[in-house]
Amino acid sequence: MNYLPIFVDLKQRPVLVVGGGHVAVRKIDSLLKAQAQVLVVAEQLHKTLLSKLEQGEIKWLATQFDESQVKQVYLIIAATDDHSLNQRVFQAAQAEQRLVNVVDEQPLCSYIFPSIIDRSPIQIAISSGGASPVLIRLLREKLEALIPQNVGLMSEISARWRYKVKQKFSQLTQRRRFWEKLFTNQTFQRLTENHQAEQAEILLEQTLNESNEMIGEVSLVGAGPGDAGLLTLKGLQAIQQADVVLYDALVSDSILELVRRDADKVFVGKRAGQHSVPQQETNQLLVKYAQQGKRVVRLKGGDPFVFGRGGEELEVLKQAGISFSVVPGITAALGATAYAGIPLTHRDYAQSAMFITGHLKSDSHHTNWDTLARSNQTLVVYMGTIKASELSHQLQKYGRASNTPVAIVSNGTLPNQQVRIGILENLAELVENAETPALIVIGEVVKLQSELAWFGQQQKQFISTQETLWQTAVNY
């Protein structure tokens, strides 16, 4: 961080402005808005400044700058076109440890003015530290359009009611929920947009008098396969409102960064070399937090109902009488194949797709190998790398062609996504040392990958004989 952004209270504090031209006018305008006591040093004053002088809004301290003038002020601005004078002001300020800004001369600034979006009392200040003013201007325009005009009034009203709300709700969580409920109330939004402050405050009082009993709830949220952009809007809302988030290893860092800063984040997954938190313990935690009246998010990789044990967790909540909701996510089979350029179905190659888990029992009569081995369908295998050899063997035994194209997609949708292409016969070798999480895709649609790959470096990490294996697959 090159600069520390702070908001300074300048009320009645003396600020020295050296220069009396149009640049000084701009700066003085902002200073007066902040209710500073403006002292100007300039040979001549711009007409706007002259009228401000007449109104008693500013003070004309002297016509010449003198080093001693910096001693009596809090902050200094030099806005002259005389470089050597600017330099003198800078040096004098430095000598007295005063903050100084020489307009448009960054090396002569110990503080800089950010670009401001003013919805007082809400203010947003942005800066690139001088690196890219144009980019900052464009960003400011975007933010101006994005931030509703009524947030200022909302904030003023909340300042007036803060104390009463605090009296009613002793706990921070209760207060936060009250304010969230009010600020997201559409009538309240409309009233503040129309500047109907009085009615808005009546609504606030009504909301305050309603029972605000804290009832805990759990939202089971699918985080998608990794790329934070694939999180749903509902999922984002849920993690932004949560008091506590229980997440597992498949949830990417970029998604965790979107969780509300002061929410408790509890890891309940499996870390390398360690055992995962037993499912029962996770279930108990969910119940415990919800019974404390908290808003709990159970955040899972992909979709919670696809090989995610989401159903089991909800059954436990149901038994404990805790209310819950489910926010679906993009499951790995959809995300990883899309980012790898493998369509799951295709009119010529696959009329159906099946998602299966690799934790199959090969001898089990539950596994219908006949069905799994059918051609013209895409088979997507979750958690399949360990059983790859078995899978390859059984599928061939039950009739799937040994040169059926296969793909291993590791870290799907993430910047380090890797795609390996081969054929069914060599699935076990292809899987060797593949990074996890990895998905196995089996079917003729994999042929399209070489043409449709679009994401990342489109790297194909071929194992030694890969080139020839791929040729076999293409000629299939």
Q: Which stretch binds ligand SAH (CB under 6 A): 141-149, 192-200, 392-400, 432-440?
A: 432-440
Q: Which stretch binds ligand SAH (CB under 6 A): 110-118, 122-130, 391-399, 410-418?
A: 410-418
* Selected binder of ligand SAH within 307, 322, 394, 400 (CB under 6 A): 307
State yes or no: residue 341 binds ligand SAH (CB under 6 A).
no
Neighbours of 238 (CB within 10 A): 23
Contact string (CB under 6 A) for ligand SAH, positions 355-374, x = contact: --------------------
> Closer CB to ligand SAH, residue 225 or residue 341?
225
State yes or no: residue 247 binds ligand SAH (CB under 6 A).
no
User: Listing from the earlier edge strand, what are the strands of the sheet with 323-327?
Assistant: 264-267, 244-247, 295-300, 217-222, 323-327
C-alpha neighbours within 13 Å on the C-beta side of residue 253 = 2
* 184: its two tokens: 């997201």
State yes or no: residue 411 binds ligand SAH (CB under 6 A).
yes
- How do beta strands 264-267 and 58-62 pair? unpaired
- What are φ and ψ of residue 52, in 5° steps? -65, -35
* Selected binder of ligand SAH within 46, 98, 295, 300 (CB under 6 A): 300
From the CB of 28, what's the least distance to ligand SAH, in Å? 56
> Closer CB to ligand SAH, residue 235 or residue 308?
308
- How do beta strands 37-41 and 14-18 pair? parallel
The active-site residue, picked from 227, 243, 248, 303, is 248
CA distances from 427 to 384, 385, 386 (A): 11, 9, 11
State yes or no: residue 449 binds ligand SAH (CB under 6 A).
no
* Selected binder of ligand SAH within 413, 418, 449, 466 (CB under 6 A): 413
State yes or no: residue 306 binds ligand SAH (CB under 6 A).
yes
From the CB of 277, what's the least distance to ligand SAH, in Å? 16
* Selected binder of ligand SAH within 268, 353, 409, 424 (CB under 6 A): 409
- DSSP reduced 3-state for 4: coil
Total residues binding ligand SAH (CB under 6 A): 22
From the CB of 337, what's the least distance to ligand SAH, in Å? 9
Q: Which residue is at the shortest CB distance from ligand SAH?
A: 302
- DSSP reduced 3-state for 115: strand
**Cα distance between residue 49 and residue 24, in whole Å:** 9
State yes or no: residue 342 binds ligand SAH (CB under 6 A).
no
* Selected binder of ligand SAH within 231, 250, 327, 372 (CB under 6 A): 250
* 401: its two tokens: 């062609």
State yes or no: residue 314 binds ligand SAH (CB under 6 A).
no
* 85: its two tokens: 């004078």
From the CB of 338, what's the least distance to ligand SAH, in Å? 11
DSSP per-residue letters across 262-315: TSEEEE-S--TTSPPPPHHHHHHHHHHHHHTT-EEEEEESB-TTSSS-HHHHHH
* Selected binder of ligand SAH within 36, 245, 391, 438 (CB under 6 A): 438
The active-site residue, picked from 33, 142, 270, 397, is 270
Neighbours of 346 (CB within 10 A): 16
Q: Which stretch binds ligand SAH (CB under 6 A): 51-59, 168-176, 256-264, 434-442?
A: 434-442
State yes or no: residue 308 binds ligand SAH (CB under 6 A).
yes
**Cα distance between residue 295 and residue 290, in whole Å:** 7
Contact in structure between 454 and 440 (CB atoms under 8 Å): no
**Cα distance between residue 184 and residue 336, in whole Å:** 35
From the CB of 199, what's the least distance to ligand SAH, in Å? 47
State yes or no: residue 226 binds ligand SAH (CB under 6 A).
yes
> Closer CB to ligand SAH, residue 192 or residue 331?
331
Contact in structure between 327 and 233 (CB atoms under 8 Å): no
**Cα distance between residue 247 and residue 225, in whole Å:** 13
From the CB of 456, what's the least distance to ligand SAH, in Å? 12
Is residue 142 part of the annotated active site? The answer reads: no
Amino acid at residue number 453: A
Is residue 166 part of the annotated active site? The answer reads: no
State yes or no: residue 19 binds ligand SAH (CB under 6 A).
no
DSSP per-residue letters across 131-152: S-HHHHHHHHHHHHHHS-TTHH
* 203: its two tokens: 């609504």
- How do beta strands 244-247 and 264-267 pair? parallel
> Closer CB to ligand SAH, residue 20 or residue 304?
304
From the CB of 320, what's the least distance to ligand SAH, in Å? 23
- DSSP reduced 3-state for 397: helix
From the CB of 390, what's the least distance to ligand SAH, in Å? 15
Q: Which residues are catalytic?
A: 248, 270
Q: Which residues here bind ligand SAH, judged by CB under 6 A? A: 225-226, 250, 300-303, 306-308, 331-332, 336, 382-383, 409, 411-413, 437-439
